Amino acid sequence: MDFSKIVSSTAYELSKALSDGATTSTEITSAFIDRIQKVDGQVHAFLYHDPEDMLAQAKESDLRRSQNLTLGPLDGVPVGLKDVIAVEGQPLTAASKILENYISPYNATVTRKLKESGAVISGRLNLDEFAMGSSTENSAYGATKNPWDLDRVPGGSSGGSAAAVAAREIPLTLGSDTGGSIRQPASLCGVVGMKPTYGMVSRFGLAAFASSLDQIGPFAQSVEDVALLLEIISGHDPLDSTSYPVEIPRYSEVLKEDCQPCKIGLPSEFFGPGMDDEVRKSVELAIEFYKSIGFEIIDVSLPSTDLSVSVYYVIATAEASSNLARYDGIRYTSRSQRAENAIDIYSKSRGEGFGEEVKRRCILGAYALSSGYYDAYYLRAQKTRTLIRKDFEKAFQKVDVILTPTSPTPAFKFGEKSDDPISMYLSDIYTISTNLAGLPGISVPCGFSDSGLPIGMQLIGQAFEEGPLLSVAHQFDREHRLGRQAPNL
Amino acid sequence: MSKETKMDIDYVSKLARIDLLPDEREKFQAQLGDVLQYFEKLQNVAVEGVDPTAHAFPRTNVWDQDSPVPGFSSKQALQNAPQVRNDQVIVPKVVEE
C-alpha cells in the first residue's frame, strides 16, 4: 500500500489490510514514522518516539503473522500513548519539568494489554502538565497545535493524543479524562474520543491527577475504532482496587446491532446561553438526524449542572494536591540544587519543577483541605457531587442516552484564555459533570464551523453501558464519517 | 473582577510545600481570589442530609491474594532517584541537633 493511503486509513481498515496480506506492520509503521517526520514539526503532538523500537515491534508482529500466531485485530497497528501512561523503559514526563529524566520501571496495565494484543506502542503524546488544563498550553515542552488551524489550541489536556490522530500521524491513541480531557480535545480536533465509565479501565500505571475522576480512554477517526481499542484496554485489574469487576462485551460486535427503539435526552441546562451559535447549529442538525432515523427525543433536566465546575475544581484540586505530594525531590524527581534541608528539598524542587497551573491547583487543593475550610469546600463539594449524580440517575429513568455539545466553542486561539483560569475552567462545562457522576461519555464529530473548525457532540451513557452508547454514536458516525476528514498539512 | 481574597497565600503555599516566586505569589493571590469567589455559589446549595460522594461507584473490602509476587530490584527501584549511594537514597539530615 502506498504511504498516503496507509496514514489516512482507520485501524479497522489497516487491520483488514494486514489480514488480507495487502500490507505488513513494517510498511504501516514506516508510513506513520514518515508522516510524523513530515508534520510533527508543525503540530508538536509527540514528546517522544523511537522509530527503531517501533520498527522492531512491527517486525515481531509480521513474524507472528507469517507463523499464524497473530494476537488479534490490533496486531501490527500503531497506538500512541499520552505521556502519563507508563511504558517500561520509556520516558514519562507528564509534560512536567519535574519528571524530565524519569524512565518508567514498569508497564501500565493498559500498556501490558496493548502489548498482549500485538499493538505497536508508538511514542508519547503531549498534554497539559499532569493533565491539568484544557488547551495543552500548560506543557513544559511547548504547546501542541490544532492541525485544522495552527494558530489555535488542540484542546486538552490530551491535546497531543487528539492532534496526532487528526494529523494522521497515528491511527489510535490513548488519553486520560478527569473533567473532559479526552472529549474536549477530540471535539476541537475533529476526531472521536471516549471516556469510559469510572472503573472500566485500570488506572494502574497512570500518573494520577484526581483519583476519583481519572479514566483512560481511546481516540480514533471513527466510533468503530474506538470500540475496538476500548475492548482491549477494559476489564477488571487486581492492581487497581477501584477497577470494577464487570464483564466486558465485544464492543465491535455490539455495534452491528442498532440501538432501537432508543430515547435520547436533551438536558435544557446544556443548551442555554454561553454556547457558540455554530456549535448549536451543528448539534441541532445531529438531533434532527436521530429523529429522522426513528429516535425519540425527550427533554430532561440536570438542575445541578451550574454547580459542576465549582464542585469539580474543589474535588479535583484537593485530590491533586494529595496525589502530587509524591513529587518531592526525594525518590524519583529532579532535586533542587538550592536546597539546604529536607523541607527545602520539597518546597524548592516543587517550586522549580512544577509549572504555573500545577502550582495554582496544588495550592487551591491544599486550601480546600486545610483546617477550618474542609467542611465549607471539600465536604460541601462532595455532597453537591451527590446531587449531580442523582440528577443523572433521574434523567436515565426516562432515556437511554443524553446528548449535549462537547465544548461551548470550537478551538480557541493560543493565549486567549491562558491568563484567566475561570474562563479556561468553563471550557469544560459540558464534560465535567460526567466525571463527577462516573458515567461514560463520547465525543463524535458532528460538523464544522464556517471557518472550517471541527465541532463535536457529546453522548453520555449509563454506568457500565458502553455498548448502547457506542451503538448510538456509531449510528451517526457511519452515516456522516466526519472524523474521516483530514486537515491540510 | 475582585482582588479580594480570604486565602493567606504564604501559609497555603507552605502547606502545599511549594516555593513561589514573588511575581507568582502576587498573580496567584489575585487569581485564586477570583476562583474562590466563583466557588461561593457552593455555599448556597441545600446539602443538609445529603451523603457525600467520594467515588461514583465505591467498592469496599477489596482484598488482594496474600501471595508473594516478584518486585523491583533495588537497581530498578532507585533508577530515578536524584541522589543514590550504596543502594540508598541520599537525603539531608532530618533530626535536629
Does the distance separating the beta carbons of B80 and A103 come in below 8 Å? Answer: yes
pLDDT, position A367: 95
In a domain, A226, yes or no: yes
In a domain, A403, yes or no: no
Does the distance separating the beta carbons of A366 and B12 come in below 8 Å? Answer: yes
Of B17, B24, B57, the CB nearest to A347: B17
Q: Which range marks the domain in which residue A56 is found?
A: 3-261+441-484
Q: Is A429 on the interface with B (CB under 8 A)?
A: no
Task: Pick the closest to residue A468 from A303, A264, A268 (CA basis).
Answer: A264
- For A98-128, give the DSSP string: GGTT-B-SS--HHHHHHHHTT-EEEEEE--S
User: Out of A231-235, A242-246, A263-267, B91-95, which region has the weakest mean confidence (pLDDT)?
Assistant: B91-95
CATH number, residue A241: 3.90.1300.10
Reading the block at residue A255, the C-alpha cell is: 455495534
Q: Count H helices and E strands in chain B, helices first.
A: 3, 2
Of A382, A422, A439, the CB nearest to B34: A422
Does the distance separating the beta carbons of A321 and B35 come in below 8 Å? Answer: no
> Are A406 and A400 within 8 A, CB to CB?
no
Task: Pick the closest to residue A219 from A442, A37, A401 (CA basis).
Answer: A442
Each residue's pLDDT tens digit, A34-62? 999 999 999 999 999 999 999 999 999 99
Residues contacting residue B28 through CB under 8 Å, at least 6 positions apart = A359, A360, A363, B9, B20
In a domain, A140, yes or no: yes
Tell me, what's the ipTM? 0.92
In a domain, A284, yes or no: no
Count of the separate structural domains present in chain A: 1
- Domain locations along chain B: 1-47
Tell me the catalytic residues of A.
82, 157, 181
> Are A232 and A11 within 8 A, CB to CB?
no
Within 10 angstroms of residue A461's Cβ, the number of other Cβ atoms is: 26
In a domain, A119, yes or no: yes
How far apart are the C-alpha atoms of A130 and A326, rounded to whole Å?
Answer: 13
> Are A456 and A189 within 8 A, CB to CB?
no
pLDDT, position A156: 96
In a domain, A141, yes or no: yes
Q: Is A37 on the interface with B (CB under 8 A)?
A: no
pLDDT, position A426: 86
Each residue's pLDDT tens digit, A298-334? 999 999 999 999 999 999 999 999 999 999 999 988 8
> Are A83 and A45 within 8 A, CB to CB?
no
Task: Pick the closest to residue A466 from A199, A162, A111 (CA basis).
Answer: A199
Mean pLDDT (chain A, rounded) = 96
Please tell me the total number of residues recorded for chain A in this structure. 489
Report the residue of B72, B80, B87, B95 to disrupt the A interface, i.e. the one with the largest count of A CBs within 10 Å: B80
Each residue's pLDDT tens digit, A84-103? 999 999 999 999 999 999 99
Does the distance separating the beta carbons of A342 and B91 come in below 8 Å? Answer: yes
